Amino acid sequence: MSTLFEKIIAREIPAKIEYEDDQCIVIHDIDPQAPTHILVIPKKVIPRVGEAQVEDGALLGHLLLTAGNIAQSLNLEDGYRIVINNGKNGGEAVPHLHVHVLGGRQLSWPPG
């Protein structure tokens, strides 16, 4: 059974796409928690960061570099937060690794 993100990647479900390359897709979150809230999603299905393997290292680096590049292109020069949820208690809602990029307002600490 495909995850929500696999269906978005396959264009079975519409999404507002900000960027895409051969390794990932970047979409706007449908329930934004900040004025800018995007998701950087690998095309390779990794259920969660805690299940990533050594061979996924380059892909994980690519996701973070993409997140930074997209944040810059969206003019988040005042700052932004990168979040990766892992597991139910970590706030994971979709079992497909993804990187949240939140910005456009002052973010509080500690988070939720």
According to the model, what pLDDT value does residue 94 have?
93
Task: Give the model confidence (pLDDT) of 49-104 as tens digits.
Answer: 999 999 999 999 999 999 999 999 999 999 999 999 999 999 999 999 999 999 99
What is the bridge-based pairing of β-strands 24-28 and 80-83? unpaired
DSSP-assigned letter for residue 84: -
Cβ partners under 8 Å of residue 8, min gap 6: 14, 15, 25, 27, 41
CATH of the domain at 82: 3.30.428.10
The answer to whether position 109 is within a domain reads no
Classify the phi-psi angles of 91: left when phi > 0, otherwise alpha if psi is within -120 to 50, otherwise beta: left
The answer to whether position 108 is within a domain reads no
The answer to whether position 58 is within a domain reads yes
Calculate mean pLDDT across residues 34-59.
97
Nearest to 101 by CA among 8, 11, 39: 39
The answer to whether position 45 is within a domain reads yes
According to the model, what pLDDT value does residue 110 have?
86
Point out the residues that are catalytic.
98
| Helix, strand or coil, per DSSP, at residue 82 | strand
The answer to whether position 110 is within a domain reads no
Q: Which domain holds residue 28?
A: 4-103
Number of domains in the chain: 1
Average pLDDT, the chain: 96
Classify the phi-psi angles of 15: left when phi > 0, otherwise alpha if psi is within -120 to 50, otherwise beta: beta
